[in-house]
Amino acid sequence: MQKSPGLLRLLKERPRDGAAIEEMTAAAFGPDRFQKTVYRLREDVPPIGDLCFVCLDQKDRLVASIRNWPVLINEKWPAVMLGPLAISPELRGMGYGKALMWHSMAQSRLQGHSRVVLVGDPEYYNQFGFRRELALLLQLPGWVEDRRFLALELVAGSMIGVHGMIGKPLLPKKSRRRKKG
């Protein structure tokens, strides 16, 4: 039986967590991860800070992380793109991934989001309500294995009629200085 790590603390990700998250994500997803289609949507786009969380153990070591990115479907429907999610290898299969998933989804809804998309194993993500059927009318800007491209309605009916290419969100324009004269 696995040894319990004791109480874990869940925090919003802090700037200082970046390096440990990178290390854990690299170990979980390998060096080819940047080639993945979802990374194209993350390039030059900051994650949603209020939807990025870490778990720390009692020695303040990072043991789990989840991040979420903003996307825009067909230039009109905003959505959250979930991932990456990673749990430290020695703590896998103990329900922490599940806890982080439910937390992230609840926070997404509380912060006003109504739909979530991801690319991941349906065998894992179906238990949270993610469905292949809800993503059938969506496209990603690159190849993904169809069966792993999933969507979730945080609000019933929020995927009805939603279709098209998933793109980057419109980032707020930098305030322009007025020209003198």
Ligand X SMILES: CC(C)(COP(=O)(O)OP(=O)(O)OC[C@H]1O[C@@H](n2cnc3c(N)ncnc32)[C@H](O)[C@@H]1OP(=O)(O)O)[C@@H](O)C(=O)NCCC(=O)NCCS
Q: Rule CB under 6 A: which residues touch ligand X?
A: 28, 85-87, 92-98, 120-121, 123-124
**85 vs 166 by CB, closer to ligand X:** 85
Nearer residue to ligand X within complex by CB, 80 or 86: 86
Nearer to ligand X, 98 or 147 (CB): 98
Element (H, E) at 70: strand 62-73
Q: Cβ 105 to ligand X, closest distance in Å?
A: 13
Identify which of 170, 169, 117, 166 has the alpha carbon closest to the alpha carbon of residue 142: 166
Q: What share of residues in the chain are helix, strand, coil (percent, to 5)?
A: 35, 25, 40
CB of 126 to ligand X, least distance (A): 9
Task: Tell me how far, at minimum, the Cβ of 178 lies from ligand X, in Å.
Answer: 48
**DSSP-assigned beta bridge partners for residue 80:** 70, 116
Q: How far apart are CA 166 and CA 76, in angstroms?
A: 10
